[in-house]
Amino acid sequence: MSDETGREWWRSATIYQVYPRSFADSTGNGTGDLPGITNHLTDLHDLGIDAIWLSPFQTSPQKDAGYDVSNYCDVDPLFGTMHDFEVLLNRAHELGIRVLVDLVPNHSSDAHPLFQAALASTPGSPERAMYMFREGTGEHGELPPNNWESVFGGPAWTRVTNPDGTLGQWYLHLFDSSQPDFDWTNPRVHDFFLDVLRFWLDKGVDGFRVDVAHGLTKEADLPDFRRDAEYWTTPAELRPPCPFFGHPGVHPIYREWRALIDSYPGDRILCAEAFVEPLTKMAEWVRPDEMHQAFNFPFLVTRWEGEKVRGVINASLDAFGAVGAPSTWVLSNHDQIRHATRLAIDPRSYTGDRITGIGPKTEPKPDPVEGLRRARAASAMMLALPGCAYIYNGEELGLPEAMDIPDEFRQDPTFARTNGKAYGRDGCRVPIPWAADAPAFGFNDSGKTWLPQPAEYRDFARDAQTGVSGSTLELYKRALRIRREFRLGLGHLSWIEGMGENVLAFANGDVSVVANYSDKPVALPAGEIILDTTANGEPDASQGTLAPSTTVWMRRS
Ligand code: NOJ
């Protein structure tokens, strides 16, 4: 969807995240691939999305599911070939679907030739200067250069062994030890990534989702810093500045990229994965000469509480509006507990830390029925908001988190780096079900899957929901159709007061939305209901009452 002139589609689009390894597997080897995605593009077209974002499919040892890239300009054989990518891109464009690719500029894989060259050379060499190598502290350099911790657990530094077998310098990795951080103070790193951007722009991609867009530059002297429990419980605006995330040195980089992307024809975009708070700070990433969008994580992490949701919506519209950017809205992705589970989690069993995850020992267990009700209601609320909405593959089926993955199958590096204390993110990455009665629920023909699928995924299969009134899939299709028809993405929100405690209501153009976050039914005003998330078989909102944990859209007369 674009504005009246057909420009700036990204201000109001619905963008669908495809997680390639879990979307559809055309070879039967258990991992999804690019031809699998191409085969299902018509399903995405039918769903009514405007664009897809592909999580990494570039060459990688897959230590962090592709976020450890060893060749930025090629396709990992696990996912197919460059020809397969070109076929996918052409087919998507034929269907009017734009394609964003993931760009991982904070770190490469340790298998990247640049890092291998750095290891093979000496301290102070131009090769080492591409990454963050430092001498250790302590009498013999046996201690890391500072106390930073990896996001995945354990120290953020690893010591290298020199070619002659002696112990050498340390290198920084804010994530896994297989993901060394680039040194963005080095102009050669800039040039390297400008070439990577050009490569994909020349191929015809419509933009990039930029990984760890808050981390590329660090405070110069790398001061000690630990984000302890107190840090996280301090309000975002009062937290001490973090020397490795949210550093202002990133902005000139995005201005450089924006100038490049604007020199290409078409309306191509940059979307920041910038985990910075508060929203007013995140908005700095989307100033007019920087990126186009940033994922709205404060919205994603907001619990099932109407007033909190209202607060974050207001703060988002204010913060992004102040810099002329659209707000984005997102409820699930490949790093977060799926919202059909997360929204029913008892705060006692989950700290809110995305990396911690949930698993077999989590108690109390979230109620799956209530989780799905809330997810449908939250999604309907989200899809009526002005701005750009992101959908994560499988959420349109109402998929819950796979909680019972046996330890031996877990692949998220977090699980190993914390000795199993944190379950990590595998539960939201399980291959998605297409057909209830097929091997691997239609993910492939062989029945093999890189992570085991829970038996209950059968009930969520796409073919079991297609054409079934009241199914989550049909709900999404209807919501996206109305969203487009009523141009909700381009609209303006005004709150409607007085609907009751913990009930949110707003008008957006010709549609009004009522979402019941309370545990009591609420009376609805008279009017034509055009979307209702009430579960099948329950009295729906046409009776004049909105059940708890449901949302309706009504036509405004
Ligand atoms: C954010 C990505 O979404 C996540 O999956 C990855 O592990 C980290 N960045 C590191 O690249």
To the nearest 10°, the Cα dihedral for 379, 381, 384, 387? -80
Residue 7 has what pLDDT?
73
355 lines ligand 1 (CB under 6 A): no
Residue 135 has what pLDDT?
97
- Active-site residue, 211 included: yes
68 lines ligand 1 (CB under 6 A): no
Q: What is the DSSP string of 505-556?
A: EEEETTEEEEEE-SSS-EEPPSSEEEEE-PPTTS--GGGSEEPTT-EEEEE-
Substitution site in 58, 63, 67 for ligand 1 pocket (most atoms within 8 Å of beta carbon): 67
- Angle 301-304-306 from CA coordinates, rounded to 5°: 110
AA identity, residue 353: D
**Does 428 lie in the same domain as 504?**
no
Q: Which of 323-332, 353-362, 382-391 has the lowest mean pLDDT?
A: 353-362
Q: Which of 15-19, 205-209, 410-414, 430-434 has the lowest mean pLDDT?
A: 410-414
- Count of structural domains within the chain: 3
- The sign of the dihedral angle between the CA atoms of 208, 313, 11, 18 is positive
Task: Specify the CATH number for the domain of residue 518.
Answer: 2.60.40
CA distance 63 to 178: 7
**Does 286 lie in the same domain as 197?**
yes
Question: 153 is in which domain, residue-wise?
Answer: 113-172
Indicate whether 485 belongs to any domain: no
**Does 117 lie in the same domain as 166?**
yes
Write the burial class of residue 87 (CB in 10 Å: 0-12 exposed, 13-18 middle, 19+ buried).
middle
Q: Closest Cα to atom 11, ligand 1: which residue?
A: 67
AA identity, residue 3: D
Chain centroid to Cα 286, Å, comes to 17
Annotated catalytic residue: which of 33, 102, 181, 273? Answer: 273
**Does 63 lie in the same domain as 102?**
yes
Task: Specify the CATH number for the domain of residue 358.
Answer: 3.20.20.80
Q: Closest Cα to atom 3, ligand 1: which residue?
A: 335
* pLDDT tens-place string over residues 60-108: 999 999 999 999 999 999 999 999 999 999 999 999 999 999 999 999 9
* pLDDT tens-place string over residues 243-254: 999 999 999 999
Domain end among 448, 475, 502: 475
The Cβ-side half-sphere exposure at 371, using a 13 Å CA radius, reads 19
**Does 216 lie in the same domain as 129?**
no
Substitution site in 17, 19, 177, 211 for ligand 1 pocket (most atoms within 8 Å of beta carbon): 211
Task: Answer for the pair 546, 529: CB distance below 8 angstroms, yes or no.
Answer: no
Confidence band for 194, pLDDT divided at 50, 70 and 90: very high
**Does 377 lie in the same domain as 260?**
yes
CA distance 478 to 380: 10
Task: Answer for the pair 480, 16: CB distance below 8 angstroms, yes or no.
Answer: no
CA distance 451 to 470: 29
Confidence band for 6, pLDDT divided at 50, 70 and 90: low
- The sign of the dihedral angle between the CA atoms of 167, 170, 176, 182 is negative
Measured over all CA atoms, what is the biggest interatomic distance in the chain, rounded to whole angstroms? 80
Confidence band for 352, pLDDT divided at 50, 70 and 90: low
Domain end among 140, 172, 204: 172
**Does 528 lie in the same domain as 414?**
no
Write the burial class of residue 139 (CB in 10 Å: 0-12 exposed, 13-18 middle, 19+ buried).
exposed
What residues are paired with 208 via a beta bridge?
101, 270
Task: Specify the CATH number for the domain of residue 136.
Answer: 3.90.400.10
Indicate whether 197 belongs to any domain: yes
Instruction: Give the Å distances, CA to CA, from 18 to 49, 52, 274, 328, 431.
Output: 12, 7, 19, 17, 11
Q: Closest Cα to atom 4, ligand 1: which residue?
A: 335
Substitution site in 22, 335, 392, 412 for ligand 1 pocket (most atoms within 8 Å of beta carbon): 335
- Active-site residue, 519 included: no
Indicate whether 81 belongs to any domain: yes
67 lines ligand 1 (CB under 6 A): yes
Task: Answer for the pair 337, 401: CB distance below 8 angstroms, yes or no.
Answer: yes
**Does 239 lie in the same domain as 148?**
no
Indicate whether 4 belongs to any domain: no
295 lines ligand 1 (CB under 6 A): no
Indicate whether 488 belongs to any domain: no
Annotated catalytic residue: which of 102, 110, 183, 211? Answer: 211
* pLDDT tens-place string over residues 278-301: 999 999 999 999 999 999 999 999
* pLDDT tens-place string over residues 223-280: 999 888 888 888 888 889 999 999 999 999 999 999 999 999 999 999 999 999 999 9
Instruction: Give the Å distances, CA to CA, from 446 to 411, 432, 443.
Output: 21, 15, 9
For the chain, what is the mean pLDDT? 95
Q: Please give the distance, rounded to the nearest whole angstrom, from the Cα atom of residue 151 to the centre of ligand 1.
A: 10
**Does 218 lie in the same domain as 149?**
no
Nearest atom in ligand 1 to 64's CA: 7
64 lines ligand 1 (CB under 6 A): yes
**Does 335 lie in the same domain as 200?**
yes
Write the burial class of residue 324 (CB in 10 Å: 0-12 exposed, 13-18 middle, 19+ buried).
exposed
211 lines ligand 1 (CB under 6 A): yes
50 lines ligand 1 (CB under 6 A): no
Q: Please give the distance, rounded to the nearest whole angstrom, from the Cα atom of residue 425 to the centre of ligand 1.
A: 10
**Does 436 lie in the same domain as 347?**
yes
Write the burial class of residue 83 (CB in 10 Å: 0-12 exposed, 13-18 middle, 19+ buried).
exposed
CA distance 518 to 504: 10
* pLDDT tens-place string over residues 354-376: 567 889 988 889 999 999 999 99
Tell me which H or E stretch contains 54.
strand 51-54
- Residue 311, pLDDT > 70, answer yes
**Does 198 lie in the same domain as 260?**
yes
CA distance 40 to 503: 38
Q: Please give the distance, rounded to the nearest whole angstrom, from the Cα atom of residue 519 to the centre of ligand 1.
A: 36
Indicate whether 323 belongs to any domain: yes
Indicate whether 268 belongs to any domain: yes
Indicate whether 365 belongs to any domain: yes
The residue count of the chain comes to 557
